[in-house]
Structure 1
Amino acid sequence: MGFQKTEEPCFCFIYRTRQQIVDPSSRFKIPKLTSVFLFILLLFSPVFPAITAKKFRRDHHVFRPRKETNKMKLIEAHLKRINKPFIKSIQSPDGDTIDCVITHHQPAFDHPKLKGRKPLDPPERPNRHDRAENSSENYQLWSLSGESCPEGTIPIRRTSKQDILRANSISKFGRKIRPIRRDTSSYGHEHAVGYVSGNKYYGAKASINVWAPKVANRYEFSLSQMWVISGSFGNDLNTIEAGWQVSPELYGDNYPRFFTYWTTDAYQTTGCYNLLCSGFIQTNNRIAIGAAISPRSVYNGGQFDISLLIWKDPKHGNWWLEFGSGTLVGYWPASLFTHLQDHASMVQFGGEIVNSRALGSHTLTQMGSGHFSGQGFGKASYFRNMQVVDWGNNLIPLSNFKILADHPNCYDIRGGTNRVWGNYFYYGGPGKNPRCP
């Protein structure tokens, strides 16, 4: 913040008084002693404010409130924990700094259950998995710099002090604090989703249309993702999540970013976004989790989607993540979870926003493209080629697929199936509108 020019009322008052003293037309005569006193004040008045201001600034710096000092120390300590030493850093066109960190130095291995371990070799992929769906590897802005991380390292988006300061507290940084449920709109979370339940699921796959929806304020977000869920929607909820999100609070901008999440206790004390805590083990040196996605879809123009696959390795039981055309990102160790050590009981696909009602009405935060599902291809956002993984490690079509929009006048959803897209749906909306006040 720049300095603002301030008035000096004391000087101006004295100047006017002196004019009165020397004005021969004045009938008012000031005593000699008073005029001398005023002259001395006039002589030194420009100096005193400067001395006082300088002293104030110095004193303010020295006597900073203890609470603020302790907070900054805690932030610096937290940054030291999550920003690991790197052998190379890359500047992304969007302002991110990507650090190339030695693979076995990544945050995952700070976890008590993972200390001393090294990443596992790639597992067997599910049967009937087509890796040729996406041909482009340049779907993150930082990779457009032409730089890359060397073998034996992973790219990690560097966390800044400003990133943490945007959160309500250090403990809340990088975490979903409130429970997120499929069947409720409590806590301001609103959804338009499709889901399957009632069987044992060992993974899921989908191609997700990427947009840059407008988010009304920094306390809200808009995302599109897959959830792999087990346990009840109580305190024992286990989830694995991946997709794209726009979150001004988490990232400081409005770019759609590739993200992951996990929790084993309904978002209470475990789990986090991306690599902001120990847990997810990254094995890839070309994908930066939390980095901006490029290109993005254009209304009534070119469409872009990303293919995501999450599946349980039949041999070791870990949950692996693939992004794009056969690129393994890494895995969530089975040891992190309780219910998901075995299988998932629900798989969910779709959009979610936060409605803070900051202005006393429904938020203007958009979901998907910001347009309702009825507008169709090129205008509404979509999920396509949705599948699940069965107990035999086979990708199979969805059965008993259901859709739900908990605020259909604000964000809606409509599904279908065809030979090219398999199971699909369009979803999204503008938020506040005449039918959604």
Structure 2
Amino acid sequence: MAKVSATSASALHCPLVTASGRSAPNRDDERPKKRSHYYHLAPRIVSKFSNWSSEAAAGEVVVWRERGAFAATSPAVEGASGEEIRTGERRRRGRRGATKRPQMDTARGVACLLVAVICLSCAAAASARSPAARMNRHLKRFNKPAVKSIEMRPNYHPEGLYDESKSNVASNSNEEKPKVQLWHQNGRCPKDTVPIRRTKKDDLLRASSMRRYGRKGHTTANPMSVNPTMLNEGGHQHAIAYVQGDKYYGAKATINVWEPKIEQPNEFSLSQLWILGGSFGEDLNSIEAGWQVSPDLYGDNNTRLFTYWTSDAYQATGCYNMLCSGFIQINSEIAMGASIFPTSSYSGSQYDISLLIWKDPKEGNWWMQFGKDYVLGYWPSFLFSYLADSASMIEWGGEVVNSQPDGVHTSTQMGSGHFPEEGFSKASYFKNIQVVDSTNNLKAPKGLGTFTEQSNCYDVQNGNNAEWGTYFYYGGPGRSSSCA
């Protein structure tokens, strides 16, 4: 089995999630905030009728004085050097001068304060509109997902009532378990926290739009399309197996892991399963999970574990991994968006990962499990309309973006980059594919179909045997002598 890693410790952070089901502030928030130097430029006068405290100063550094004294933070105000100015300490200048001079000083101070406030307001408004400020707001949103309450475990599992023993199933197995991640070499997330891949400025700068960062275009394959070529309007091509015509409550597959070559940075190649509800119009609901290579999203060509969801056909809702509110992670060992290693080699060692997604019949949430050990998290039922009930179609397979560089088909590979007929250790595969039925049990899919837009570029072939159950090989090289 392939393992999951992250490239470096700095690429991950560990937001706190309490066992009671409540989130807590990121530990970064507990560090003392450095006060802006603008606060030190603005004078503040505490009148003799006020009763200010340092907390009431809203972050400004106010030199505290006793009640009835002036205080300020800027030398621009007389008395800001620290001396207290009390009634009766000034030299008498006659009845008229004794009352006029303090009033004039106070007026000057108020005028200075108003000018400073106006200047700071203008500067703050300009700063808030700057590209850097917008980027920082996006970074804060990506790196501190808002979660108010969570479920800590599912109520049911497709193999029976869920209990704690499910998390220890593989402890008695001889199968290699994905325990070690590269980021573990520099430490682990503390108890009651989860690992989240940190979004950096470079990630946003690579994106064509900060608003669309972490989102797909309309990409789901519709095998029933009368005109399949229309599906490539967005530049996406598929080689999939699918079932439809029933109510489905989950799906499972073991997926062969490769590192396909990507021609253009704005292209990707992935292998995943889709849980679908609704039509293929604007109301499509989709839950997705698998592995992908996406230079535009991650900044490298590593094969990475990912999730995705949408409730409106990829228009305004949904995102990859934890880049928006949606998927809620509860596992502290496996990081979404982390690298999968090792990957398979042509005519060499083969590695795969097992994924299971199912609907909890009690709460209605859609849960995800990685391998036999790790229940990673869930998609709350309220995210969806059609999937709040059940799925109407399940798809397994590969997808690539074909941006048609120089007006020809891309050479971006799908799967291993080789056609299905080459078979084991050469072509990529899905094996032991299953669906979850209305009784919450796993079973082999009935009436499995296959679909691809251009079989001369990427193809799919299915089969069945005792060892692999229902399976299929898929993929291809993209541009070739037969695929222009």
Q: What TM-score, normalized by structure 2, do the two folds share? A: 0.68
CA contact (8 A) 1:207 1:306 kept: yes
Structure-2 separation of matches of 1:283 and 1:387? 25
| 1:235 corresponding residue in structure 2 | 282
What amino acid is the match of 1:308? L
Q: Which runs of structure 1 show a deviation greater than 6 angstroms over 4 or more consecutive aligned residues?
A: 66-69
CA contact (8 A) 1:195 1:403 kept: yes
Residue 135 (structure 1) aligned with residue 185 (structure 2): no
Structure-1 separation of matches of 2:423 and 2:232? 25
C-alpha change, 1:416 and 1:301, in structure 2 (3 Å) is same
State the Cα distance separating 1:204 from its structure 2 match: 0.2
| 1:221 corresponding residue in structure 2 | 268
| 2:59 corresponding residue in structure 1 | none
State the Cα distance separating 1:146 from its structure 2 match: 5.7
State the Cα distance separating 1:326 from its structure 2 match: 2.6
Post-superposition Cα deviations, 1:196-254, rounded to whole Å, max 9, x if no partner, equal: 00000000000000000000011100000000000000010000000000000000000
Residue 173 (structure 1) aligned with residue 233 (structure 2): no
Which piece of structure 1 moves more, 403-412 or 331-340? 403-412
Query: Any idea what SS the aligned residue of 2:134 has?
Result: helix
CA contact (8 A) 2:150 2:328 kept: no
Structure-2 separation of matches of 1:120 and 1:337? 20
Gaps of 5+ in 2: 1-125, 224-230
Residue 125 (structure 1) aligned with residue 130 (structure 2): no
Residue 391 (structure 1) aligned with residue 451 (structure 2): no
Which of 142, 152, 164 is equivalent to 2:192? 152
Structure-2 separation of matches of 1:366 and 1:179? 17
Post-superposition Cα deviations, 1:383-436, rounded to whole Å, max 9, x if no partner, equal: 000000001100001100001121111111111000010000001111000000
Residue 381 (structure 1) aligned with residue 441 (structure 2): no
State the Cα distance separating 1:142 from its structure 2 match: 2.9
Residue 281 (structure 1) aligned with residue 331 (structure 2): no
Which of 298, 303, 306 is equivalent to 2:353? 306
Structure-2 separation of matches of 1:425 and 1:435? 22
What amino acid is the match of 2:143? N
State the Cα distance separating 1:147 from its structure 2 match: 2.4
Query: Any idea what SS the aligned residue of 2:421 has?
Result: helix
Query: Any idea what SS the aligned residue of 1:359 has?
Result: helix
Which of 307, 319, 325 is equivalent to 2:372? 325
Matches within 5 A, 1:67-146: 70-84=130-144, 107-109=145-147, 116-127=148-159, 132=170, 134-138=175-179, 140-143=181-184, 145=185
Matches within 5 A, 1:367-378: 367-378=414-425
Query: Any idea what SS the aligned residue of 2:339 has?
Result: coil
C-alpha change, 1:169 and 1:117, in structure 2 (3 Å) is same
Query: Any idea what SS the aligned residue of 1:229 has?
Result: strand
CA contact (8 A) 2:135 2:204 kept: yes
CA contact (8 A) 2:217 2:234 kept: no
State the Cα distance separating 1:364 from its structure 2 match: 0.7
Which of 191, 203, 215 is equivalent to 2:238? 191
Structure-1 separation of matches of 2:236 and 2:294? 14
Structure-2 separation of matches of 1:343 and 1:302? 38
| 1:207 corresponding residue in structure 2 | 254
Which of 315, 339, 345 is equivalent to 2:386? 339
CA contact (8 A) 1:139 1:294 kept: no
Structure-1 separation of matches of 2:414 and 2:390? 30
State the Cα distance separating 1:177 from its structure 2 match: 2.9
Which piece of structure 1 moves more, 341-350 or 171-180? 171-180
State the Cα distance separating 1:68 from its structure 2 match: 12
Structure-1 separation of matches of 2:128 and 2:151? 39
Identity %: 55
What amino acid is the match of 2:149? R
Query: Any idea what SS the aligned residue of 1:154 has?
Result: coil
Residue 417 (structure 1) aligned with residue 458 (structure 2): no
Gaps of 5+ in 1: 1-65, 85-106, 110-115
Q: What TM-score, normalized by structure 1, do the two folds share? A: 0.76
Query: Any idea what SS the aligned residue of 1:328 has?
Result: strand
Query: Any idea what SS the aligned residue of 2:195 has?
Result: strand
